[in-house]
Structure 1
Amino acid sequence: MIQETIVSTQNKNGIVHIAPMGIHISADEFIILPFKPSTTLDNLLETNVAVLNYCTDVRVFAGCLTGRRDWPVKDAERIDGKVLSCALAHTEVKVLRIEDDELRPKLYCQAVHTVNHAPFTGFNRAQYAVLEAAILVSRLHMLPIEKLDAELTYLQIGIDKTAGAHEFEAWGWLMTVVDNYKATLNL
C-alpha cells in the first residue's frame, strides 16, 4: 500500500526540508523511496530519521511542488525532527536499513512514535484532484502532453464541483506550473 504523505527531514544543522512523497507500507515497515539526488535522501542519510505527516491541507502538497516550502512546524516528540503544524497525525520513523539503487534507494524505516492530533474527516473530490495533479506536476517531464491534458481535464471536474478556498489556491499554483511548462514547449 502507498500512502501520500508529507515527509519532513532535517540536516544536522537543523535546516528542515518538507517534501510530498508516497510512502510504501509493508507490515510494520515504512519504505521511503526518495530520488537521487534529493534533499530528503541527503537528510535521511545524515540523520537516519524522518517524520511522516498526514494532513488534509492540500496546499502543502501543491506548495512543495511550486516553491512554497515554508510551512509552520513544531518539534517531534521522540526524534530530532519537525512535525507540520497542520498535520492531523504524524509518525516519527528511524531508518533500519537501506537498499541502494541508482535512481531510487529504498530506506526501510520503523515507527518510533505515532500521534493523532485531530480527527480525519475525509477528503472531498477537490482535495483528491489536487493530490493527483500534484503527482502529475512532479512528473511533467515524463508524461506525454496528451495524457497530462486528459488527466487534468478530468480532475478539473472535482475542483469545479467541490473545491473550497484552499483547494482553489493549490490548484491555481499547480496550473501555473503546468502553463509555464507548456510555454517552454511552445504549446
Structure 2
Amino acid sequence: MIQETLVTTINLQGDTHIAPMGVHVEQDQYIILPFRPSTTLDNLLVNKTAVINYCDDVRIFAGCLTGRRDWPLLPAQQVAGYYLADTLAHTELQLVRIEDDDTRPKLFCRAVHTVNHKPFQGFNRAQYSVLEAAILISRLDRLPGEKIQAELDYLRIGLDKTAGERERQAWDWLMAAIEQHRRGVQV
C-alpha cells in the first residue's frame, strides 16, 4: 500500500526539509523511494531518521511543490527531527537498510514512535483533486502536456463541487506553477 504523506527530514545543520511523498507500507516496514537528486534522500542518509506526517491540509502538499515550505513544526519525540504542527498523526522512523539504485533507491525504515494528534474527519473530493494535481506537478518534466491537461480537467470537476477555502488556495498555487512551467519559469 502507498500512503500519500509529508516526510520531514533534517540536514546536519538541523534545518528541516518537508517533502510530499508516497510512502510504501508493507507490514511493519516503511519504504521511502526518493528520486535522485533529493534533499530527503541526502538527509535520510546522513541522519538515518525521518518523520511521516499524516495530514489533511492539502495546502501543505501544494505549498511544498510551489515554494511554500515554511510550515509550523514541533520537535519529534524519539528521533532527530520535526513533525508538522498541523498534522493529524505522525510516525517517527529509523532507517534500517538501503537498496541502492542510481535513479530511485529504496530506504527501508521501521517505526519507533507514533502519535495521533487529532481525529480524521474524512476527505472531500477536492482534497483528492489537489493531491492528484500535486503529483502531476511533481512530474511536469516527465509527462506529456496533453495528459496533464486532460487529468487536470477531470480533477477540476471534484474540486468545483466540494472545495473549501484551503483546497481552492492549494489548487490556485498548483495552477500558477503549471502556468510558470509552460512559460519556462522555474518554480
- How does the TM-score come out when normalised to structure 2? 0.97
CA-to-partner distance for each residue in 1:7-62, whole Å, 9 max, x for gaps? 00001211000000000011110000111111101100000000000000000000
Partner of 1:95: 95
Structure 1 Cα separation of the partners of residues 80 and 2 of structure 2: 25
Partner of 1:66: 66
Partner of 1:23: 23
**What percentage of residue pairs aligned between the two structures are identical?**
63
Shift of residue 68 of structure 1?
0.4
Alignment of 1:146-157 (within 5 A): 146-157=146-157
Structure 1 unaligned runs (5+)?
none
- How does the TM-score come out when normalised to structure 1? 0.97
Structure 1 Cα separation of the partners of residues 135 and 160 of structure 2: 19
Shift of residue 121 of structure 1?
1.1
Rate the CA distance shift 1:184–1:11 in 2: closer, same or farther, 3 A: closer
Partner of 1:178: 178
Shift of residue 87 of structure 1?
0.5
Structure 2 unaligned runs (5+)?
none
Determine if the alignment matches structure 1 residue 2 to structure 2 residue 8.
no
Shift of residue 92 of structure 1?
0.2
Shift of residue 181 of structure 1?
1.5
Partner of 1:135: 135
Partner of 2:14: 14
The alignment covers a number of residue pairs equal to 185
- 1:34 is paired with a residue whose SS is coil
Shift of residue 122 of structure 1?
1.0
Aligned-residue CA RMSD in angstroms? 1.0
Partner of 1:37: 37
User: In structure 1, what residue type is equivalent to 2:100?
Assistant: D
